[in-house]
């Protein structure tokens, strides 16, 4: 059994023996006394900064699985790249061509095809040497040229800031990845080699690149199932971003090996004896938690190093799936399992295709020990992810489950891009989808949906279909009615309740978790809100023009176009939209127009004073209703133009409205309810009731009988005899609310009822 740190061992190999103390040599010998069984899954060798990469080494590796014709094409790509980078050197002083060769070698260890290896050799020629994509198409074919183009940055384009440039580069790369996953495989290999050799650059750049790797590249590697790469990127990033913390934790892990060796040896001996007795042919070896994994657990759970008990774990590799469950039974028969610490990722794989059984057992001296049980095929897929699947060559009909999930995620990137205009917003939306943890919920038909931890009903609705998300009004989770912001838990069965008249609410953005849901909501709000704001702005400007005795219908279009230019907008529609959103005040724009037509009486007609703005209830997000007072049709109302947020309608006796009117009186306008009012409006109703069994159900039934929809319920108990119930319900108008309240007042236990 060996729990040695391959990274530490590799670094030690670069130090001459005379430079190390005898104590250090003895410690290293003790840490590597018994070599671990070979798992057969070496995807790249441990980083060795002294290693000199050569074309001969690359072609020798490629020749083990590619035909001779492909190896000749790789040599041709090398010659082109070598000429393009001639005279260029890395920060370490090495010729620049050593970097593309190293990247191609990592791709060859993944056994990627010749086009990918050629793209790896050429991945910087457009960016660093001015080579043209058309030249690459002529020399190496369109497939290689597309891969190289997807890997190139936007260095020659002017952007407002470095952040925008970086975001645009990421967006281009991720969209290229959505079309061909080999783009990101080459990029991850590129980032891995850069991280291995990051010590040659300045400390500021080390920290910046390490942070970028932690936020973007490592999560992508994990999302694609490249766990070995993921762990190495985490440890390298941690070492460069927090070098002192990394060294301290590394020393503590090294010291703890000896302290726990006896206990782990006893566990290993028991397991290796028990499994054959149960007829299970298995390999058992130790796995050590990464340094970053230890640090993250200490940070997130506020633990000291001595309190992190799962630094070491065992991995059991068996022949087939039934053997996994037999091995699990053997382990549970040998040691007591820790309740609540068993996870079956074979029956329900993780979103990135990871499959394994996880269980935690109570070992000697009460120390918990984790076991991971999997087949050889699961081990191969868990380590190499999509690199083992040739996703880009498979037909859709022959996709495995992992391939289908990855394909769906890559397709979702295109959906997010379609709904997102800004690069920074696109990257933020993608980041929220790169969570390593997930919850698994079921549709009513029994299909499994994987969502990020913390995802809500709205996130689930948008994974099913955009139209379901757009029209969602509630949900039934495990047969219980729940609000849209409810966070989903593993195993929930979710049914979304929709209403064709419902639309996305801006408040949803405060609790959705997935990038697709966020992008779809923002897209709807941008497109629909613009049209609604234009219509509202037109009505507001007509009202203000009428106040200065100008008939908007008789104005020449050129006058309004000139007013739009004077206000700094591109068109009349943009001017209307800014007025409707409250960014500009209609009376100010009206005065601007009036000044332009001074001395032209034909354009100014004497018309009556304007009527108030009419609210129809169908204006959507351009017109909202005050959550402080919940106005209903029939209430006296007044409107407040909020800068950038449209018109907010309050009751005219609302305390918040009365307080705000004294501060910015010019933003308040007269509004009235239209006669053809439609839609449902929220209102809060409170009841003081005698506490009685089943009363809440009777009250809810009476509200439902009046065709009112319950949105939220809260209850506060007094001294055991009475309770205060607060319902948020949806009604059509004051008369509808009055019917609801009369029906509730007839319940014997209701002592008092009022609108809050």
Tokens, residue 210? 């390490």
Rg of the chain taking only CA atoms, in angstroms: 33
Is there a contact between 226 and 191 (Cβ–Cβ < 8 Å)?
Answer: no
Q: How many residues does the chain have?
A: 756
Count of other CB atoms within 10 angstroms of residue 65: 11
Q: Which of 2, 128, 487, 561 is catalytic?
A: 128
Is there a contact between 423 and 171 (Cβ–Cβ < 8 Å)?
Answer: yes
Nearest Cα to Cα of residue 334 among 276, 259, 262:
276
Question: What b/e readout covers 163-183, taking b as 16+ CB neighbours within 10 angstroms?
Answer: ebbbbbbbbbbbbbbbebbbb
CA separation, residue 59 to residues 49, 62, 124, 288, 490 (Å): 21, 5, 20, 34, 48
CA separation, residue 44 to residues 54, 107, 246, 402 (Å): 16, 9, 23, 23
Nearest Cα to Cα of residue 110 among 224, 210, 197:
224
Tokens, residue 449? 């949906």
Nearest Cα to Cα of residue 224 among 402, 43, 412, 417:
402
| Token pair 């994974």 in the structure block, residue | 463
Nearest Cα to Cα of residue 127 among 81, 75, 87:
81
CA separation, residue 293 to residues 238, 434, 472, 723 (Å): 10, 17, 39, 49
Q: Which of 127, 149, 573, 652 is catalytic?
A: 127
Is there a contact between 61 and 107 (Cβ–Cβ < 8 Å)?
Answer: no
Is there a contact between 589 and 563 (Cβ–Cβ < 8 Å)?
Answer: yes
CA separation, residue 517 to residues 427, 461, 590, 620 (Å): 14, 8, 39, 19
Annotated catalytic, 212?
Answer: no
CA distance 62 to 120: 13
Q: What angle do CA 248, 254, 259 make, to 5 degrees?
A: 120
Count of other CB atoms within 10 angstroms of residue 665: 8
Is there a contact between 636 and 627 (Cβ–Cβ < 8 Å)?
Answer: no
Give kind and range of the element (H or E) at residue 687: strand 681-690
Annotated catalytic, 134?
Answer: no
Nearest Cα to Cα of residue 518 among 430, 628, 445:
430
Q: Coil, strand or helix: which one is 707?
A: coil
What phi and psi, each to the nearest 5 degrees, are found at residue 369? -130, 130
Burial of 115 (0-12, 13-18, 19+ CB in 10 A): buried
Catalytic site residues? 127-128
């Amino acid at each position: 059994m060996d729990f040695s740190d391959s990274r530490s061992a590799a670094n030690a190999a670069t130090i001459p023996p005379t430079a190390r103390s005898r104590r250090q040599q003895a410690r290293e010998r003790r840490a590597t006394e018994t070599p671990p069984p070979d798992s057969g899954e070496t995807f790249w060798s441990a980083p060795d900064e002294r290693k000199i990469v050569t074309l001969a080494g690359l072609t020798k590796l490629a020749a083990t699985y590619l035909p001779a014709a492909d190896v000749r094409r790789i040599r041709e790509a090398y010659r082109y790249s070598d000429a393009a980078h001639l005279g260029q050197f890395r920060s370490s002083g090495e010729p620049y061509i050593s970097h593309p060769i190293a990247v191609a070698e990592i791709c060859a260890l993944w056994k990627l095809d010749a086009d990918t290896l050629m793209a790896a050799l050429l991945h910087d020629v457009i960016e660093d040497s001015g080579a043209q994509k058309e030249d690459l198409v002529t020399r190496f074919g369109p497939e290689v040229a597309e891969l190289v183009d997807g890997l190139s940055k936007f260095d020659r384009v002017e952007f407002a800031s470095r952040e925008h440039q970086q975001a645009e580069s990421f967006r281009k790369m991720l969209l290229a990845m959505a079309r061909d996953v080999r783009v990101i495989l080459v990029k991850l290999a590129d980032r891995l080699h850069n991280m291995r050799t990051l010590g040659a650059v300045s400390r500021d750049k080390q920290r910046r690149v390490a942070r970028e790797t932690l936020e973007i590249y490592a999560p992508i590697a994990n999302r694609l199932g490249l766990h070995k790469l993921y762990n190495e990127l985490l440890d390298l990033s941690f070492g460069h971003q927090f070098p002192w913390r990394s060294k301290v934790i590394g020393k503590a892990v090294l010291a703890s090996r000896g302290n726990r060796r006896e206990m782990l040896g006893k566990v290993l001996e028991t397991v290796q004896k028990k499994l054959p007795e149960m007829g299970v042919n298995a390999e058992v070896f130790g796995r050590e938690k990464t340094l970053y994994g230890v640090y993250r657990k200490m940070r997130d759970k506020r633990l000291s190093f001595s309190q992190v008990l799962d630094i070491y774990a065992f991995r059991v590799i068996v022949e087939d799936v039934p053997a996994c469950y037999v091995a699990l039974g053997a382990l549970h028969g040998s040691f007591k399992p820790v309740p609540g610490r068993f996870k079956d990722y074979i029956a329900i794989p993780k979103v990135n295709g990871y499959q394994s059984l996880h269980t935690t057992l109570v070992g000697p001296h009460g120390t918990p020990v984790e076991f991971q049980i999997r087949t050889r095929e699961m081990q191969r897929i868990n380590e190499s992810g999509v690199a083992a699947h040739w996703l880009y060559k498979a037909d859709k009909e022959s996709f495995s489950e992992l391939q289908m999930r990855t394909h769906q995620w890559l397709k979702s990137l295109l959906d997010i891009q379609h709904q997102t205009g800004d690069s920074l917003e696109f990257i933020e939306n993608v980041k929220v989808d790169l969570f390593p943890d997930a919850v698994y919920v079921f549709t009513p038909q029994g299909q499994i949906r994987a969502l990020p931890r913390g995802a809500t009903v709205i996130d689930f609705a948008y994974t099913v279909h955009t139209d379901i998300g757009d029209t969602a009004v509630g949900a039934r989770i495990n047969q219980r009615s729940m609000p849209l912001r409810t966070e989903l838990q593993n195993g929930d069965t979710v049914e979304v309740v929709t209403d064709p008249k419902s639309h996305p609410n801006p408040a949803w953005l405060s609790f959705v978790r997935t990038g697709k849901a966020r992008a779809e909501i923002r897209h709807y709000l941008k497109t629909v809100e613009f049209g609604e704001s234009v219509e509202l702005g037109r009505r507001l400007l007509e009202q203000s023009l009428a106040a200065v005795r100008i008939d908007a219908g008789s104005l020449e279009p050129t006058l309004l176009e000139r007013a739009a230019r004077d206000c700094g907008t591109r068109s009349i529609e943009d001017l209307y939209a800014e007025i409707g959103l409250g960014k500009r005040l209609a009376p100010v724009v009206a005065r601007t127009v009036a000044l332009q037509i001074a001395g032209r009486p034909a354009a100014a007609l004497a018309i009556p004073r304007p009527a108030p703005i009419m609210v129809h209830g169908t204006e959507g997000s351009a017109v909202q209703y005050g959550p402080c007072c919940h106005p209903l049709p029939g209430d006296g109302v007044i409107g407040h133009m909020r800068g950038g947020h449209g018109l907010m309608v309050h009751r005219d006796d609302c305390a918040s409205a009365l307080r705000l009117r004294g501060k910015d009186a010019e933003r308040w306008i007269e509004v009235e309810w239209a006669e053809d009012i439609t839609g449902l409006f929220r209102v809060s109703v409170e009841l003081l009731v005698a506490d009685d069994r089943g009363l809440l159900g009777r009250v809810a039934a009476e509200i439902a009988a009046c065709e009112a929809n319950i949105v939220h319920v809260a209850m506060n108990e007094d001294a055991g005899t009475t309770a205060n119930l607060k319902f948020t319900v949806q009604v059509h108008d004051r008369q509808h609310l009055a019917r609801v309240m009369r029906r509730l007042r007839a319940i014997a236990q209701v002592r008092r009822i009022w609108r809050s």
